[in-house]
Amino acid sequence: MPVFEVNQVVKANLEIVWSFFTDPTNLSVITPADMGFVIKFPLKPTTIYPGMIIKYKVSPLLSIPVEWVTEIAHVDDRHIFVDTQLKGPFKLWHHQHIFKDMGEVTEMTDIVNYEMPFGRLGDLLAGRMVRKRLDRIFKYRQDVVERIFNK
């Protein structure tokens, strides 16, 4: 199973960083515009909780729009939250968002375990493209987070 991992140190305290990343409406801020990302639910700012369902429309590959539904599977306040795909472009999507309080800064680690649809065939046809897309999406996110917090 492919695993994608990325780390970033944010020049803000844990409380501020946690608050930003646990509001699903901020996903549109940190997602590249060319993905056509639109949050369908929830529509107003809120804080995640275990069992929360989040619905999006997104065009992750080839500008083909898909509905993506995730569930917040686990929350350990100010430490970790996990979202899993219920419906979307992957056979499996398990995304851990890990936060480490380092005083004036916060270390964030994202670990994504994912599987392509159609097994080995899906890997062969789109695996490399998906990996490059994830690299680009998370690089974009890091740049936006840098601009917002690391002024």
pLDDT digits (tens, 9 = 90+) for 32-48: 999 999 999 988 889 99
Question: Can you give the pLDDT at residue 92?
Answer: 92
Under CATH, which number does the domain 3-149 receive? 3.30.530.20
- Where do the structural domains in the chain lie, given as residue ranges? 3-149
- Whole-number Å distance between alpha carbons of 5 and 51: 24
Would you give the end-to-end CA distance of the chain in angstroms? 37
Residue pair 37/60 in contact (Cβ under 8 Å)? The answer is: no
* Percent of residues, the chain, with pLDDT higher than 70: 93
**67 by DSSP, 3-state: which?**
strand
CA angle 27–109–14, rounded 5-degree value: 75
Write the Ramachandran bin of 65: left for phi over 0, alpha for psi from -120 to 50, otherwise beta.
beta
Give tens-digit pLDDT for 93-128.
999 999 999 999 999 999 999 887 767 765 656 667
pLDDT over threshold 70, residue 77? yes
